[in-house]
Amino acid sequence: MAQTDSKEMATVKMELGKLQGRVDAFLNEKAEAIQEARNHLQGRVLELEDPILRTESKELAIVKAENARLQARMNSFEREKKDAVKSALMKADANNALWQEMLAEANVDDVVALRGAKIALHAQIEGLNARVQDQAMLVKTADENSQKMGWSSTYKSMYNAKCKENDELQKELGVLEDYQHP
């Protein structure tokens, strides 16, 4: 019985390690994409501030293209993040009963290892929260740049929709944190 429990504990630890690796890789990839988008936008802002390049049609075309590109990247990032959170929650629910049973029979080292894994998961949640805040700053930057050019109602409604999606994402992160700390 103890050997079976040790094998199951090892399996759970291995799965938790795999999940943590996937989450880390996902967060690193998205951080690079966000940084690339931020650098690109900063370059565009400098170009737009150059008086030689200031013609209204050029500015509007650049802003529309940048907003569409940023919107597509942010939508993709949000979908992937929601999928990762949903997958992590489903896997945690599926393994929760097994974990509780194993914790009841586990030795002190196993309990300490699982607590360490829980702390690491909490750090990842905080990282996700920081990414959401970075994303909100990107939206704010796009908003400020668009307002300089005279923002249309279409872009205003897109911005409001993005803010609403960010609020929903914040709620999902809150649910994940509540799940981690019942």
pTM: 0.27
91/4 Cα distance (integer angstroms)? 21
Is the predicted pLDDT of residue 156 greater than 70, yes or no?
A: no
DSSP 94-129: HHHHHHHHHHHH--HHHHHHHHHHHHHHHHHHHHHH
**pLDDT one-digit tens code per residue, 15-39:** 888 888 888 888 888 888 888 888 8
Quick one: tokens of 98? Answer: 């097994």
Top pLDDT among 20 and 106 is at 20
Domain boundaries defined on the chain: 2-180
